[in-house]
Structure 1
Amino acid sequence: MSTPLDQKSLEELDATDLRLLIEDQVSECKTIDYKRTLPGRTDADRREFLHDVSSFANASGGHLLFGMKEERGIAMEILGLRDINPDQEITRLEEMLRSGLRPRIYGLQMKAVLIEEGSWVLVLRIPRSWNPPHQVTFQSDMRFSARGLTGKYLMDVDELRSTLEVSDVLGERARNFRLERIAKVKAGETPSEEIDGAHIVLHLLPLSAFTGKRRLDFARGAGHWPFDPPPFMGSGFSSRYCFEGYAFTSGYPKVDTYRLYFRSGAMEYVDFRPSHIGQNDRFDRMLPSTVIEKITRQNLEHALITAKTLELEPPAFLSLSMAGAKGWIWAAGDRFLQREVPFDRDPLLFSEQFVESFDGDIEGLLKALVDPVWHAAGWEQSPNFIEGKWAPDHR
């Protein structure tokens, strides 16, 4: 049975929607749990709350509603929470969740719905997690909970193993997707019409994209549009629907740079460097490090913003790759730092980063992406960072 909890964003939810739960006699189930009061401050109350939340995340997601009376599992009355400061209570619960669960559950939302003056219902929306299982770690509890039709229960060894296997499968699908896409880039089976050159590829791959349950609709007005045109597209870029979803392309006389957004939620940012530049052989097959880092930073920032705009769920794999760069030189851009060590393989699949939140540290993620490129070129690390901040002009 569909309820307002399923049909509305949390921001839109109001007292009328909660009263409908009573009118329709909506019962507790795998995705709904009613609580008369907020979690108390005892250790037992805190532990119970953590198991409640993790049980939803380890199953199908759902809602906890505090300030609701139920009888035999059926919503009967809005009791309301009185004499509370809603903001302070939300902060308290958030702190409990941050410190009491491992790994953290991202995408949690809370709202205090005003029922009448001085009376609230606190609604906690818990997403289904794509990197389960989540363990209660408070006071070394170290147990795992899930939910069935009759409520939460402790997971046994077989179910825990099965949940871990599902998480591993999603990760493997994401890695295989990356390999397949790099092979297509090398074969010219992408929006890029250029082959003779180096392609720098950034992938942001939410694990939810590999469940088979996510399908974005990029039709205007369909809820997944618009999102801002990506950076570094050059003049005269164009955008269009395509087999995979939606693409932004640019390049002259051939398309060489593109941004591809898959209906599954996967994202691919590709920049092209031609193998010959002008008449000076000295600059042939050279990758300007500072320019590539700048492009990567802008693409990374845009990808994370787009993921939030499209309401994709973390976590995700983030990766940087190069196709066609064997024999190319990573140019440091400083006469005191020149070192000509050509890349020795193709493709270059640099290490993946596991992104737990789309509000992550851009500078930290950038450094994690580009340092392996410098390693492959014979350097210890990128010299363009000062105390963790990207500062290419400091030298």
Structure 2
Amino acid sequence: MSLQGVPFSKVSEADIQRLLEFSVGESVYLDYKRQSYEKSERKEFLKDISAMANTLGGDLLIGIAEKDGVPTSISPLFGDCDEEMRRLEQIAITGLDPRIRNLQIKPIPLTAGGNLIMVRVPRSYLAPHRVILENSARFYARAGTTTYEPNVDQLRQMFTSTTIVAEKIKAFHADRLVRITAGETPIAMNNAGKLVIHVVPVPAFTEGSMMDLIAKLSFGTEIPIPPDEVGTPKREAVNLEGYLNYVIPQAHDGSRMAYAQFFRNGVIEGAADLRTGDGQSSRFVGVPFVQLVVNRVKQYLNIVDHYDMGLPAYVFLSLCNVSNTVYRYAPSGGGFQETEPLGREIVALPEM
């Protein structure tokens, strides 16, 4: 048992009480500290959070007394909790190289008075992180309840793992583009150009787990929306890959085929037919196209956050079947002009 399954924003005093009630001991994911880190203990704080980030991530609970790693009581923190959190954040920002992205710190108010401080450390995909405070240059990792300094072989593995994950993500993206171009899409689409958006949380390719996506969606309030310009009513389905939200065009309303595929590992894929008159050639128009892409990327990233699927995330923007696709734009003199056809089947822009 740990707090890893509880979204950070929803962790409450009741969750902490359960840790004490069930004597949940420290682990690779969980660490207790009775009081906050004094000025002389800044390196200890950096050691604790960098070890978690360099391993599997985890939660640091400040204000919990423990014996032999087992929590014994709550030791509330009093005083200016906001100021203390800012101090810890500043230590983390200036004391690690590289800094830990998406480090989360919050108070947990107690009914009896005072607060706990919870620090959620994400598993890092920019590891290893090194403690650099006061000219230190040390790396740490975590095994069970023990924090240790990794040897040369372990450090080498840490340095190369990020590259391996990035290669897996790019290979997945390339495979999806080939399949979409070949017509292997969850709904039938026309032969003209297609807009394709991918938002890929990095943990999707590191944890090796498949979530019960349908159960997760049933408790949430967000679903991915297809990149549909018109706002046509959507239909939902469950398929082998996960959850599908899609558009069936209505007669004479200008809508086109579009879908959002939510994969069971957390990846979101949005695809839509570009504007076409004959089903073979197509076009995209400047401002509406940009607005559509930006709005969908924002929504997909919000879903990654809403379901706590982990960060960072890669964002890909691509075009498929676009040999006969043109870009239409409005020149300063009025009217519109079109570029020459793109002339290739797949255009994959650099990822972010």
> TM-score interval w.r.t. the shorter chain?
0.7 to 0.9
> Is structure 2 residue 333 aligned with structure 1 residue 332?
no
**Could you say what secondary structure the match of 1:124 adopts?**
strand
Instruction: Give 2:311's match in structure 1, choosing from 309, 314, 323.
Output: 314
Task: Give, as a single letter, the amino acid of the residue that structure 2 aligns with 1:48.
Answer: E
Q: Distance in 2 between matches of 1:138 and 1:325?
A: 52
Is residue 60–residue 127 contact of structure 1 (8 Å, CA) maintained in 2? Answer: yes
Is residue 256–residue 273 contact of structure 2 (8 Å, CA) maintained in 1? Answer: no
Aligned position for 1:360: none
Instruction: Give 1:69's match in structure 2, choosing from 58, 65, 69.
Output: 65
Q: How does 1:329-368 map to 2 (within 5 A)?
A: 329-335=326-332, 338=337, 340-353=339-352
**Could you say what secondary structure the match of 1:269 adopts?**
strand
Is residue 105–residue 117 contact of structure 2 (8 Å, CA) maintained in 1? Answer: no
The farther-off stretch of 298-307 and 126-135 is 126-135
Task: Give, as a single letter, the amino acid of the residue that structure 2 aligns with 1:272.
Answer: D
Task: Give, as a single letter, the amino acid of the residue that structure 2 aligns with 1:271.
Answer: A
Structure possessing the higher relative contact order (Cα contacts under 8 Å, 6 or more residues apart) = 2
Aligned position for 2:266: 265
Q: CA deviation at 1:351?
A: 0.4
Q: Give the TM-score, by structure 1 length.
A: 0.77
Aligned position for 2:108: 112
Is residue 224–residue 262 contact of structure 2 (8 Å, CA) maintained in 1? Answer: no
Q: Distance in 2 between matches of 1:17 and 1:220?
A: 20
Distance change (3 Å), C-alpha of 1:35 and 1:256? same
Task: Give, as a single letter, the amino acid of the residue that structure 1 aligns with 2:42.
Answer: R
Aligned position for 2:28: 30
- Give 5+ residue unaligned stretches, structure 1: 354-395
Aligned position for 2:172: 177
- Give 5+ residue unaligned stretches, structure 2: none
Q: CA deviation at 1:85?
A: 1.1
User: What does the per-residue CA deviation read over 1:94-127, in whole Å, with 9 as the maximum and x for residues that have no partner?
Assistant: 222233331423152433342623x333222323
Distance change (3 Å), C-alpha of 1:331 and 1:34? same
Is residue 34–residue 62 contact of structure 2 (8 Å, CA) maintained in 1? Answer: yes
Aligned position for 1:136: 131
The farther-off stretch of 302-311 and 8-17 is 8-17
Across the two proteins, how many residue pairs are aligned to each other? 343
**Could you say what secondary structure the match of 2:72 adopts?**
strand
User: What does the per-residue CA deviation read over 1:292-342, in whole Å, with 9 as the maximum and x for residues that have no partner?
Assistant: 212111111111122122221011111111111124322222255957343
User: What does the per-residue CA deviation read over 1:148-184, in whole Å, with 9 as the maximum and x for residues that have no partner?
Assistant: 1242112222112212333222211111111111111
Distance change (3 Å), C-alpha of 1:213 and 1:133? farther
Aligned position for 1:386: none
The farther-off stretch of 62-71 and 176-185 is 62-71
**Could you say what secondary structure the match of 1:116 adopts?**
coil
Aligned position for 1:373: none
Task: Give, as a single letter, the amino acid of the residue that structure 1 aligns with 2:166.
Answer: G
> Is structure 2 residue 144 aligned with structure 1 residue 146?
no
Q: How does 1:1-395 map to 2 (within 5 A)?
A: 2-3=1-2, 5-6=3-4, 8-10=6-8, 13-15=11-13, 17-18=15-16, 21-22=19-20, 24-42=22-40, 45-82=41-78, 84-101=79-96, 102-106=98-102, 108-114=104-110, 116-117=112-113, 119-211=114-206, 212-219=208-215, 222-224=218-220, 226-227=222-223, 229-230=225-226, 232=228, 234-252=231-249, 256-276=257-277, 285-335=282-332, 338=337, 340-353=339-352
Is residue 316–residue 350 contact of structure 2 (8 Å, CA) maintained in 1? Answer: yes
Is residue 196–residue 275 contact of structure 1 (8 Å, CA) maintained in 2? Answer: no
Q: CA deviation at 1:63?
A: 2.3
Distance change (3 Å), C-alpha of 1:219 and 1:153? closer
Q: Distance in 2 between matches of 1:179 and 1:228?
A: 21
Q: Give the TM-score, by structure 2 length.
A: 0.85
Task: Give, as a single letter, the amino acid of the residue that structure 1 aligns with 2:259.
Answer: Y
Q: Distance in 1 between matches of 2:134 and 2:34?
A: 25
**Could you say what secondary structure the match of 1:185 adopts?**
helix
Q: CA deviation at 1:267?
A: 0.7
Distance change (3 Å), C-alpha of 1:8 and 1:286? closer
Distance change (3 Å), C-alpha of 1:209 and 1:256? same
**Could you say what secondary structure the match of 1:59 adopts?**
coil
Q: Distance in 2 between matches of 1:109 and 1:37?
A: 15
Q: CA deviation at 1:274?
A: 4.8
